[in-house]
Amino acid sequence: MFENLFDSQTIKDFIPHGTCLLWRSDLLLLHVLSDSLITAAYYSIPAALIFFVLKRRDLEFRSIFVLFGIFIMACGTTHLMEIWTIWHPNYVLEGFVKLFTGLVSIATSVLLWPLIPHALKLPSPAKLEETNRQLQHEIEERKGKEQEIRQLNANLEKMVEQRTAQLVEANAQLEDEILERLRIEESLRESESRYRTLFEQMPDALVLMDIESGKLIDFNPKAHQNLEYRRDEFRKLRISDIDRQQSEEDIRRHIEKTRDTGEDVFETEHITKSGIVRNIRVTTKVIQLNQKKLIQAVFTDITDYKQLELALRTQQQKLEQSQNRLEYIVNTSPSVIYILSRTGNPECPFKVDFMGETITLVTGYEPHQWYCDETFWIDHVHPDDRAAALENQSLLISQGELTHQYRFRHKDGSYRWIHDKLRSLRDSEGNMIEAIGAWVDITERKQGELALKEAKEAAEAANRAKTEFLANISHELRTPLNGILGFTQVLQKQTDLTSKHKEYLGYIGRSGHHLLTLINDLLDLSKIEAGRLEVENSIFHFVEFLDGIAEMFEFRAINKGVGFIYEKAATLPEYVIGDEKRLRQILINLLGNAIKFTHQGYAALKVFSHGETVYFRIEDTGQGIAEEDMGRIFLAFEQVADHDSTEGTGLGLAISKRLVDAMGGQIDVQSTRGQGSVFTVSLALPAASNPSKPKADENQVIGYTGKARRIMIVDDNPDNLTMLSALLESLDFVIETASNGRECLDKFALFEPDLIMIDLLMPDMDGAETVKHLRQTESGQNVKVIAVTAHAFDDIREHVPGIGLR
């Protein structure tokens, strides 16, 4: 086997580092054999040593034997590694094994030398033998002595028996004393343990000081934590290092006082490591700990308490101020402040607990008179108001608040009107505790309300008279004016008129329209002031509306020789919801003024929007308005004094302002005298979709097609009959007239009209009554009726249902 193991082929295959042994099989065998024998010896020797140590428990220096065994075994391992590395070149492992062997060798040598002196002290065998002989001699002598001792023991036993009895008795007493002492010691230990626990866990800072020198002996965690020090830092401090107010002498006096009296309490200020000042209450007392007297000092942080005390003192001062103010207010207020409490009596559920001093000024009675008699209040309430007052007061319990008015008998016998307001105060469970009330004498206000009511009724009567007057005067003014304008229109259609006649008719027409405008302005102002103006919103074509306004005033501006600028934002909605008629009236008034008072330069209409709000900006470079006149321009019948034109009534801006307000908008003006004016109107005009309604034909009517239509005209004014007949006959209508309602009813059946145009205000039988009778007949149920009236207000529609109003 060995020949095969160490032949050249084996060496070549398994010992790549065989060059160290010159690739010779005999050398390899020699080294493996020698290393194997050494390893076997080095492993067996430690085994014998360890076995010896285990058997000899009394052996000195056992650890060195074990260390020797480890050292020898490590040496054997190095030889074993020599065999291993022949085939496996793990030189790193071999190096670590040798390093371990070296370390164990060094440790063995280091530990061995200190043991040599101790080993040398061990006795030699000769000394052990000599010691044995001396010991044997001593044993012989001792046996002789033992015989003597036994004799003495016999004598002693008798004495011991006697002494034992005494000792048993004494021992019993001693055991009792020991038990008592043990109990006391256990109690002291428990007490000290409890004290230590309390000392460590106490929420306040606690220190123990020497009663003579005042030095710190011990302290709990709170003592250094509260002052932001570590324990080792705090131990080096003196009390004067942390006390901001007490000097060394002051601290010494406190220690002496504690020592003499047993305790002391004072307040001071401690400063923390970071510089924060804390208010401290110091409580000192003398204690006995471990048979030694010490001073125990407790530092209680009262900073929050001091701050709270300061806040409470401030609050108390404020409370006293508030109380003084309240007393002043209660005793000087025109309202009488009082407090009620429950009585439990259903007939008189409350009694007065407090009554303000001003009650004497209001009722003539002193406050004490209200406290003595629970029925004092109700007995002085007016008999007619008494039941309601009691019923209202009983509701206070359930409702929590009460306000009522009643008459109260003054001390002078007169009755005063009282406005009484109460509020209940309740506890946490919702039960009523008391009620606080306030009395106000409203007799003068009641008298004023009565006077105001009478004045209001008088004003309403005057307003009704004014309305009736306006309706009548409107009828009286419009009736002849309609005749003038109507006959002017009829004459203008004549073909045989000369140019001069047409010019005169133009003057008449323009004057008539100017008069009509004046009447309409007056009526519009009257409607606004009477509260009869109603905003009638509808969907209309906004862009087309603006274009029409601009076209109208562009023509006026050109005729006057001034420029006209029209700008509209591209973001304007095509259709909006608003009152088209009132918006047209506003813009016509403002643009009319702009052109009227501009003699050079331009007038402009600029329209833009933001959200649903549309802004109309009317500019001009005219005369402008002086600053002192700005406050009057929106007043009715006011005209700026230095304007060179007296045309108009001064109502245009007043009506425009009221119309804008009625529509929920705003009108602003900026003007500089001699440079022009800018009026800006902002109105909410929400965008709307196309209403898809047919556009009205605004061209002049010249006739109609189809069969001849029959119209009956009913009016008590012959001029109106003549004018309307002439207008309608020129359009090829067949006309029949009636001067009153009864004549209309008589002619209706014979004439069988397609349409009836009827005046509403007629004597004997008015238009509404006439139509009512017509609708009761079979032939009159479907005939169309148009009311032709000069009435001032549109609310006449309510009185003539089923009639078209013109």
Percent of the chain with pLDDT over 90: 10
Mean pLDDT value of segment 377-396: 85
Question: Is pLDDT of 515 > 80?
Answer: no
CA atoms within 13 A on the CB side of 501: 11
pLDDT tens digits for range 660-718: 888 889 999 998 888 899 999 999 999 988 776 545 445 556 678 888 899 999 988 88
Among 332-346, 378-392, 461-475, the range of highest mean pLDDT? 378-392
Compute the C-alpha angle 765/769/774, nearest 5°: 110
Binned at pLDDT 50, 70 and 90, residue 6 comes out as very low
Cβ(783)–Cβ(767) below 8 Å: no
Residue 677, pLDDT score:
92
**From CA 40, how far away is CA 45, in angstroms rounded?**
9
Rounded-to-integer distance, Cα 108 and Cα 352, Å: 109
Is residue 606 very low, low, confident or very high in pLDDT (cuts 50, 70, 90)?
A: very high
Top-confidence residue, 515 or 700: 515
Instruction: Say which range, 194-198, 586-590, 709-713, has the weakest mean pLDDT.
Output: 194-198
Q: Using an 8 Å Cβ cutoff, are 31 and 82 in contact?
A: yes
Residue length of the chain = 806
pLDDT tens track for 60-112: 666 777 777 787 888 888 888 877 777 777 778 878 878 888 787 787 777 77
Q: Which of 758, 693, 701 is nearest to 727 (CA)?
A: 701
pLDDT at 646: 46
**Packing angle of the helix pair 91-120, 62-87 (nearest 10 deg):** 160
Is the CA virtual torsion 260, 266, 271, 273 positive or negative? positive
Token pair, residue 123, equals: 């006795």
pLDDT at 613: 93
Handedness of CA 365, 368, 370, 376 (dihedral sign): negative
Listed ranges 1-15, 205-219, 251-265, 318-332; the one with the highest mean pLDDT: 251-265
* 51 or 404, which is more confident: 404
Please name the amino acid found at residue 97: V
pLDDT digits (tens, 9 = 90+) for 279-292: 888 888 888 776 77
Cβ atoms of 590 and 679 closer than 8 Å? yes
Q: Quickly state the pLDDT bin for 565 (edges 50, 70, 90).
A: very high
110 burial type by CB count under 10 A (0-12 exposed, 13-18 middle, 19+ buried): exposed
Q: Taking residues 33-50, what's their average pLDDT?
A: 80
pLDDT of residue 184: 64
Q: Could you tell me which of 586, 587, 514, 600 has the C-alpha nearest to residue 557?
A: 600
Distance CA 33, CA 740 (A): 163
Percent of the chain scored above 70 by pLDDT? 79
**Predicted local confidence at residue 679, as pLDDT:** 93
pLDDT tens for 241-295 read 888 878 888 888 888 888 888 888 888 888 888 888 888 888 888 887 767 788 8
Confidence bin at 581 (pLDDT 50/70/90): confident
d(CA 124, CA 122): 7
* pLDDT mean across residues, the chain: 78
CA distance 32 to 27: 9
| Mean pLDDT score, 592-618 | 91
3-class SS of residue 97:
helix
Answer for the pair 298, 258: CB distance below 8 angstroms, yes or no: no
Q: Quickly state the pLDDT bin for 197 (edges 50, 70, 90).
A: low
Burial class (CB in 10 A: 0-12, 13-18, 19+), 660: buried
Instruction: Check if the beta carbon of residue 584 is closer than 8 Å to that of residue 578.
Output: no
Q: What one-letter code names the amino acid at 175?
A: E
CA distance 783 to 788: 16
- With bands split at pLDDT 50, 70 and 90, how would you rate the model's confidence at 123? low
Q: Cα–Cα distances in Å, from 122 out to 58, 94, 131, 136, 572?
A: 14, 41, 13, 21, 126
Instruction: Look at residue 5 and tell me whether its pLDDT is greater than 50.
Output: no
| More confident of the two residues 462 and 446 | 446
Instruction: Tell the residue number behind the tokens 């670590």, with chain if given.
Output: 96
